Each structure stands twice: as structure tokens, then as C-alpha cells.
Amino acid sequence: MQHLREKKARGLVRTGLVLLAFLLAAPVSAAAVDLDFKEADIRDVLRVLGDVGGFNVVTDPAVRGSVTFYLQGMDPRQAVDLVVKSSGYGYTFVGNTLVVAPRERLADQFQEVRTAFIPLRHIDPEAVVPALEMVVQPAVVRADRVGRGVLIRGDAAQIRAAEAFLKERDVPPPLELDFVDADVRTVLSALARAGGYNLIAVPETQAKLTLFLRGASVREALDLVARQAGFRYRIDGNTIVIVDERDMPAAKAAPDAGTGPAVAVPAPPVVTKEVRIIPLRYITTQQARALAAMLLPPEDIWADEAAGTLVVRGSGARLDEVERLLAGYDLPRLRVDGIVVKEDDRLAVLSLDRRSHVVREGTTLDGITVEQILGDRVVLRTATGRLLELAIGGGE
């Protein structure tokens, strides 16, 4: 009895471990995010999407360019699909790593190539191959006259594109049919044959029809016959089914969005004899001299270009004003490339001197602190306490 209890306990433990492993391996869907980017580097955008989506990102050196878009309520992986494809590149997921590269290189290194046969019912395989090759290149496409279809060798995405392309074009040709006092059964049978359809539940009616069909499609002819004979139908795949009512599709509403930031302007300096040396980091001595001339006479300003400093003379209070003025402008070039909102978490792509950083509220970079990330702008505080509000795509 003790042996049975121990065996049962081991079985329960093993089952629990298997269940735990399954739960840990199950993919966790990322929460929807709102993204707003304006002329942002595509590599920075992908880096942010990887951050919020919980996956790694590897980009080929050839992936370059800027993107502008607004997406609301998107899954990060859906956003990747839109951003990458609209930029003319390809991508694949290798485990939990997103790989983005030119499509040709991606196909050579990552995509599994296979061969698929797509049957055709109405169009000539040889006639459609030249157009299909343009859609799915560099996949290989061949006509199969014996099997009446098309052979395509490529990756899964290329095969799906070929199927969608051929489905739109593999339709019955325009009709050239005449009916004089023909019963409805005869007319429907002829239309089904012309369109390559099966026919189910022919309506019980004694109506006679006279029709001269020139250039109409099978669907148009069916609509005409149904109205004249007083019945309804639907097409299920390859079959015409006579029914009593039709399904009515519902429409979806599209989301809307808006923007509108403001830029804070520094307070005008206040005008006021000691000598003070002010080191400069980002602006030139000529730019600093022009700024200092707003508060001091030119004879009290000297520029040391070799040391990258400005030498000024005046009262202590006045020189304090000069230092504050220069500090407000001696900043790296700032630009907000985009903002991502994921539930209560907000991230921004901030460019400082053309180097991009993914930041959250409270982040400090080179003396610039991210005070607040809003839906359409970022509030920054300089080392001197000056506040800046930069809109997406805006800089200072």
C-alpha cells in the first residue's frame, strides 16, 4: 500500500512538472500599444518594439531609413509587420529574436523554400505565369498544363501571395449565352457549368425565362435569374446553394487620433566687475559670444577658441545671468522621434546629438532629465532647471 502511494505521488509530481513546463513555454501575448513616430530611424523603432514586445532585435547593416506613422491599439508584432514591410524590407522570427534584412538576403539565409501546386479552374496557366512572376519574385514559377495549374518554388509568404493573386484572377470569363423560354433548372445548370460550380436545391418553379447574356459574369447572371424567378442563393466555395435568406456583413469603425504640442520659450535674460571663464560643451565660442552680447557690452567679452571657453567681465549678478543664459543654450541637439504607450508604461525615442536613446520618465542623459512623457510630446529639464516641451518630430 505504501508503495502504491509513493508511486502515485511521483506520478502527480511528474504531471505537475510537465504542466509547469508547458505553461512556461506557452507564448504570452503582448499588450496592445499606441505608437507615434515622425521621421524616426527604423532601427530605433524596431528597438522600441522589441522592448515593449519582449523580444530581441537584430537588424542587417543594410537596413536604413526613417519612418513616420501613428498606430493605435497594435500588438507589437503586428506593428513590426507593418513597419518593416512598408519600408521595403523583410523579417522573420528566430525563436524570440526578430531578424530584419533585405528580402533577398533573408530568403537566402532564413526562409524555408518549398514547392507548391496551385490548381486553376478558368484561366490558362501559361498566360498567367508572367504576371505572377512579377508578384512573387524571386520565387520560381512554372505553368503545369497537364495538371492545369501553377507550380511555385519559394517561401511561405511568396506562396501565400501567389495563392491570393491567382484567386482574384481565376474567375469565369464573361458569358455569351442565349435562353428563349427556358425553364429555371436549365438556366441554372448552364450557369453552373459556365462558372465551374456545383448546384444544390434547384428551386421548384414553373417560370420560363428568355435571356441574352453578353459580357455578364456568372454572378451577375445568377442575380438576374434569382430576381426574375423569385428565389435567393449563396455560393459556398465551389457550390451554388439556393437559400431563403442572405447573410449581411457588418462594418467596422476605424480609430481616430490627434496631436498638438507647445514649445516653452526661456524667460528673457535680465541685464548687470569680476572676470569669469565659462566652459562650453556644444555651442561654438562665436555662438556663445553672440548670446553673451545680449547682456554685456562687446568689450567685456573674449572668446578662447583653443580652450573652447568664453571669458566675460562684469558684476557678479550680471555674470550669473550670463552663465544661466549660456547653459540654457549650450545643449546637445535634441529631437523626439517617437512615443510608445503600453498600458501605464510610456517610452520615448530621444535623439541627443544624433544619437538615439530609448528613455522612460526619470531617465537622465548628459544632464537632460526626462520629466514627463505625454501622448504627443516629452517634457525635459536641463541641468539649470530650464523646461523644454518637444513634440514628436520636433527638436531644439
Residue 128 lies in a domain: yes
* Same domain, residue pair 296 and 353: no
Indicate if 57 and 96 belong to the same structural domain: yes
Residue 162's φ and ψ, nearest 5 degrees, are -65, -45
The per-residue pLDDT for 163 is: 92
Q: In the chain, how many domains are there?
A: 5
The mean pLDDT value of the chain amounts to 78
Whole-prediction pTM: 0.44
User: In the prediction, which pLDDT does 376 show?
Assistant: 82
Domain span at 203: 176-243
pLDDT score of 118: 92
In CATH, what number is assigned to the domain containing residue 146? 3.30.1370.120
Residue 255 lies in a domain: no
Of 102, 129, 146, the domain-final residue: 102
pLDDT, tens digit, for every residue of 330-372? 877 788 888 888 777 788 888 877 777 888 888 888 778 888 8
Q: What share of the chain in percent tops pLDDT 90?
A: 8
Position 245 scores a pLDDT of: 44
Q: What are phi and psi of 179, to 5 degrees?
A: -135, 130
CATH number of residue 98's parent domain: 3.55.50.30
Q: Cell numbers at residue 263, please?
A: 514649445
What percent of the chain has pLDDT above 70?
A: 83
In a domain, 261, yes or no: no
